[in-house]
Amino acid sequence: MFKPKKQLIMDSEISYWHQLADLATVWAKEMGKIHLSYFRGNHLDIELKGSINDVVTAADKTSEKYFIEQVSQHCPNHSILGEESGLHSGKSDYCWVVDPLDGTTNFSQGLPIFSVSIGLQYKGETILGIVYAPYLDELYTAIKGEGSLLNGKSIHVSTKKELGPSVLTTGFPCDKDTNPDNNLTEVSRILPQVRGIRRYGSAAYDLCSVAAGFFDGYWEPNLHLWDVCAGILIVQEAGGKAQQYRHDRGISLLAANPDLFKQIEQNLIPSK
């Protein structure tokens, strides 16, 4: 296994970002190995977090612990925002935003769509995004200003211009059972207008699928920064548009190619 150097030399801002991208790629793949060591096994140690719809496993906890250890060793002044452990404040302007296992419900059911999501922000702006789907062995990467890659090859959002032939993906909030603002109205409004809607269950992987043109658009209400930090940059660097379509329900995100973005948005917010 590649052993990253313990000390990073900041020759320039961009070269430093590349060093960090190399490190984060190694970390993402190691976290993926942790996932696969638990996947479809009998030692998941599934626990409820806030509700019956929100679970955590030993794989989530172990992979986030590994990530925090690596950042603490190689970038000790950097902050970390992790889904499972919250904010670890550092003294630098860099903050890692990590979802150690995005798609935990899929993972706990033995379904193979789950991912590691690692974003890096500098002074509040995302400059690096890495999403790794270990079962599929798909590595999505983006550095600000340099485009997006899937396993080292350039990717771009789809070129469809109309909703009719489009295939979209979406998701539902964890409080869908208690809050009627749960995306069902939006799905029923959009479904008749498109070829199909899919529900993968991993926001990070959904966004990467839009970036690669596998899906034409994605929306979901009430997300968190760790769900989407990396994926937003990957979509944007692949020529897509990704931004909030409302601001009163967590991070409610819409991502699509530029031609479809407004058409989808008009159905999510009918007054637009």
Q: How far apart are CA 260 and CA 158, in angstroms?
A: 10
Q: Please indicate if the annotation marks 45 as binding a ligand.
A: no
| 159 CB neighbour count, 10 Å cutoff | 11
Give per-residue pLDDT as tens, 97-109. Answer: 999 999 999 999 9
Give per-residue pLDDT as tens, 199-238. Answer: 999 999 999 999 999 999 999 999 999 999 999 999 999 9
Domain ranges of the chain: 5-154, 167-268
Q: Provide the β-strand partners of residue 220.
A: 253
Q: How far apart are CA 117 and CA 101, in angstroms?
A: 7
Q: Please indicate if the annotation marks 102 as binding a ligand.
A: yes
Q: Please indicate if the annotation marks 138 as binding a ligand.
A: no
pLDDT at 12 over 90: no
Give CA angle at 133 (130, 138), nearest 5°: 80
Q: Please indicate if the annotation marks 69 as binding a ligand.
A: no
Q: Does the structural domain 5-154 have CATH classification 3.30.540.10? A: yes
What's domain 167-268's architecture? 3-Layer(aba) Sandwich (3.40)
Q: How far apart are CA 100 and CA 226, in angstroms?
A: 9
Give per-residue pLDDT as tens, 66-102. Answer: 999 999 999 999 999 998 888 999 999 999 999 999 9
pLDDT at 10 over 60: no
Q: What is the CA radius of gyration of the chain?
A: 18
Q: Please indicate if the annotation marks 101 as binding a ligand.
A: yes
Question: Coil, strand or helix: which one is 127?
Answer: strand
pTM of the model: 0.92
Q: What is the DSSP letter of 45?
A: -
Alpha-helix runs per DSSP H in the chain: 13-38, 58-74, 104-109, 184-190, 203-211, 225-237, 258-268
Give per-residue pLDDT as tens, 139-189. Answer: 999 999 999 999 999 999 999 999 999 999 999 987 788 877 899 999 999
